[in-house]
Structures are given as C-alpha cells and as structure tokens.
Amino acid sequence: MTTPATPAGPATPSALARAEALYEAGRYEQAGELAARHLAEDPEDADALTLLARCRHRAGGHADALVAVEQALRAEPEQIGAHLMRTQILLALKRYGDAEASALRTVELAPQFWGSHYALGTALAETAEAGRGRDRARVAAAYEAARTAVALGPEEDAAHFLVGLTAQRRGDHATARRAYETTLRLNPQSSEAHNNLSLLKLRRRWLRRGAWTQAAEGFVASAVLDLTDRKARYNLEAMAWGTAAGARWVALLGFLASAVARAWVPSPPTWSGAAVPLLAGGAVLVGAWAGWAVWMTRRVPPRLRRPLLLVARNCRPVLFMAGAVGLLGLHSFAALALWSLDQGAVNGFGTLLFWTVIITYWASRTALNRRMPKD
C-alpha cells in the first residue's frame, strides 16, 4: 500500500526534517534513529512518532511500528498521517477488521482528502483478497472508494492503480486497462502497473497481434524497475516455460514424421528405396522446426531474448521442459540420419522420449505453479 502524502501541517524541527529526508532516501534505520533521538527530547511529538512508525514498518517491525503510531494517536487523536499509517501497519499484521475501522475513521476525519478513500479502498481490497476473492461486496466497495480517491486526486497515480486493481478483480478488464495506462502516464516507474497491465495483455495474446510481445516487455520493465518484485519474475518464468512447452507440439510432430518415414523404408533397407520416405520425413521435420523458429523470432524480439534466457536459466521447470523437448527433437533428426539401424531399438528409444515429454509437461507445470508468489 502506498502511503499518501497528508495535508500540509506546521513546520517540523530541523532534526525531524533531516529524518524525513533520510526516510525518503530509503535509509530507514538512520531515519528511525534520528527520530528516536528527537523523541528523547519531545516524547509526545506526534509527527516524530508517526515517522518512527513508518521507519519500523519499512524495516519489518510491524508490532513495534503499531506501538509507535498508537502513541502518536494518543498524543494527537485526529492526525491523518497517523491514522493512514495505522491502517497500513494493521494490514501488514493481517488484522483486516481493525484496518478497515482505522481507514473508515480516516475518511470521517478527512472526507475530502483522496488518501483517506485510497486507504479505505486498499483495506477493503486486501480483506477481500485474503478471503480468496469471494467477498464481492467488499471488492465493489473497494472499487467505489478507489474511484472517489481518483475524483479527489486525479493526478495521484496510486489512486488510479487501485481503480485498475479493483476493476481487474471485478472482471472489468477494459476499465482496469485504462486505469493502468493512466497510472503509467502519471508514473512510468510503477512496476506494479507494468506487471498488471501485462497480465491483461497476455489474456488477449490469441486475439490481438503482438499482445504476447507487449506483455513480455511489460514484465521485463516491471522486473527491472523493482528487483524484489517476485510476481514479475514469476510471470517471465511462466512465459519462458510456455515457450518451451509450446515447442513440444513441433517435437511431437517431428517424432511422428520420422517414425512414419522410417516405417515406409522397405526391407531390406536400401538407399534407393529409402530416399523418398526419408526426404519427405526430413522435409516435414525441417519445415516444422524452421517455421517454429521464424515464428519465435518474430514473437520474441532481440531486446527480450536475453531477459527471458536469464530467467529460464535459473528456473528448473523451464530447463526440464526445454530439455525434454530438445531431446525428442534431436532423436527425430538422428532417427532419419541413422535410417539403416534396427527400427525396434530406435523406435523404442523414441517412444520413451515421447512419453518423457508428456510427463515432463505436467510435472514441470506443477513445479512452476509452486513457484507462484503467495502474496
């Protein structure tokens, strides 16, 4: 959840301003230490307590962050920033009911602030997601809260992203796509928007030319913008696996072509009798693989090949699928080249590789699904 900027308040002491600058620079531990030193002199400073909570939350200390933000609210019960931070921390702690209540209180205190409705929409959306998407009423309420946030803050990319996310979960993909595109117009560095928009494009890969390539480009952009984004990396792994798995049909066709060609070779095998079936089988085999290579060259432009190869190299399901397909493809060529060998042995080994491809497809698919990020 993105923390919305709160309405401008009174000027803060210079030490607190330095702590805020450190926080914005991603130096959360140092910012927290500076805020703590400030609090040693002024323990009831709600702004400093809220900043300390933000630093602890970023560092993963959600329980300690909650203690700090609740202390800030005791010092200043109507501080919007503290309520927003409390909502975010409660969501991290999976206390969804309390997070919703905190967000509703923020809306009551600041009904014209976009961030209040954004926090409520986020709380509702995460609560619904925790229930495996079954709570349609909450998803609908989250969507309406997101739309209100956009109406109040039309230039806030986080609000548009939330509209896209909630619309996507409702099945309204056209609205979701427009919202993600607006998000990227306002903030081209949004890795989440790149990722989610690519998922929508991937759904239309059979209906719209170039959709697969555009989706891959989006996943690459998302992974580059956020190196910790496991979802984008997984989506790239899934695309690499899909590419290898799709080649199985070419390998199976090649296996069939080589088997039929060898079966047409008369016995005893002579070159004059074997030439026609072997050349016909070879033409089918070469044509199938050449056609697949041309198609993949157009589908995966040079700028995407290296990222996909790097991802595939470290993903076992992709490697096993590609290996099984490659072995069956090599066997088909070898079977034609070594046409004079005993057909029983050659066909038996080919049948083994054929079933290896089938079994590897399902096994690697299951293994890939297990790599899917849980959050």
Q: What tens-digit pLDDT sequence spans the chain (375 residues)?
A: 666 655 534 434 477 888 888 888 888 888 888 888 888 888 899 989 999 999 999 988 999 999 999 999 999 999 999 999 999 999 999 999 999 999 999 999 999 999 999 999 999 999 988 875 457 899 999 999 999 999 999 999 999 999 999 999 999 999 999 999 999 999 998 988 998 898 888 886 655 677 778 788 888 888 777 767 788 888 888 888 989 999 999 999 999 998 888 888 777 667 677 788 888 988 999 999 999 999 888 888 888 888 888 888 889 999 999 999 999 999 999 988 887 766 667 778 888 999 999 999 999 999 999 998 865
Number of Cβ atoms within 10 Å of the Cβ of 357: 23
Q: What integer pLDDT is reported at residue 298 of this predicted model?
A: 84
Q: What is the DSSP string of 308-368?
A: HHHHHHT-HHHHHHHHHHHHHHHHHHHHHHTTTS-HHHHHHHHHHHHHHHHHHHHHHHHHH
Q: What's the rounded Cα separation, in Å, for the pair 315 and 304? A: 17
Return the pLDDT at 342. 66
pLDDT of residue 3: 64
* Residue 155: exposure state from Cβ atoms within 10 A (0-12, 13-18, ≥19): exposed
* Cβ-proximal residues to 58 (8 Å cutoff; 6+ apart), any chain: 23, 28
Q: What is the pLDDT of residue 10?
A: 42
pLDDT of residue 132: 54
For residue 321, the model assigns a pLDDT of 95
The radius of gyration of the chain from alpha carbons, rounded to an integer in Å, stands at 29
Residue 2's pLDDT is 63
Residue 328 exposure: Cα atoms within 13 Å on the Cβ side: 30
Give residue 133's pLDDT. Answer: 47
Is the pTM for the entire model greater than 0.75? no
**Burial category of 9 from C-beta neighbours within 10 Å (exposed 0-12, middle 13-18, buried 19 and up):** exposed
Phi, psi of 120 (to 5 degrees): -65, -45
Sign of CA dihedral 297, 300, 306, 308: negative
